[in-house]
Amino acid sequence: MAVQERGLGIGPVSGVRIERINVRHSGSMKPLVAAGNADGAITDVLLQDVVLEGTPLCTFDQLGISLDANVEEPTVTYRSA
Interval 30-64: pLDDT, tens: 777 877 788 888 899 999 999 988 999 888 888 88
Q: How far apart are CA 44 and CA 25, in angstroms?
A: 26
Q: How far apart are CA 45 and CA 26, in angstroms?
A: 20
Provide the pLDDT confidence category of residue 19 given band limits of 50, 70 and 90.
very high
Looking at the chain, list the stretches that DSSP marks H as alpha helix, in order from N- to C-terminal side.
Answer: none
* DSSP code at position 54: T
